[in-house]
Amino acid sequence: MEDGLFFRYKMKVQENWKVVYVASRQEKKASLRMEQLGIVHFLPLYKKLSQWSDRKKWVEVPLFNGYMFVKPTALQRDSVLQIPGVVAFVRYNGDDAIVQEKEITNIKTVLASGYSLETINTPQDFTVGEQVEVVEGPLIGHTGDILRQNDKEHFLVSFGTLGQSIKIELPYQAFKKLN
């Protein structure tokens, strides 16, 4: 009997922080649904002054477009994937990518600091063949080469790891030039 209680208790223990891909502009809706389901998550938001044709307004936008941090229990993992807008867990070496608690704490500290977090680059600042460094998201710190511009704001970037080439589509806000 005690083994069964231990097993049930262990299944409820919080896991590590993980990263999920979220459909474009669905981050806040997915966050609200996770809140309703009791899933521990973190959606870093910052305030940005947006310009419309008739007015300016401060809006809260995700710091990492298309990404959200989650800390589901083993039983909640599949529930996360059933939330509308959640696409998949970010994977690394065949498993869910893990984010250290200190990295989450660092992001929260930066957000609480009040520093301006807006990107100063534009898509026109980058050219095919240029080497860039990822400055946000789960690939932060990695360098790669721009292969092509897929649309107005996304580029296909190649990362060389373990002698293999990995191609990933990223928004231009996620990287900076290496010069």
Instruction: Give the global pTM.
Output: 0.58
What amino acid is encoded at 103 in this protein? E
Q: What is the pLDDT of residues 27-51, one digit of tens each?
A: 999 999 999 999 999 999 888 777 7
Which tokens hold the place of 11? 């299944």
Domains in the chain with CATH codes = 2-113 (3.30.70.940), 123-177 (2.30.30.30)
Q: Which tens digits make up the pLDDT trace of 57-97?
A: 888 888 888 899 999 998 999 999 999 999 999 988 888 99
Joined together, the tokens standing for residue 90 give 């970010």
Count of helices and strands (H, E) across the chain: 4, 14
Q: How far is residue 22's CA from residue 47's CA, in Å, rounded to a whole number? A: 20
Range among 7-16, 48-57, 86-95, 131-140 with highest mean pLDDT value: 86-95
The residues near 1 (Cβ < 8 Å, ≥ 6 apart) are none
85: tokens are: 């807008």
**Residue 169: left (phi > 0), alpha (psi -120 to 50), or beta?**
beta
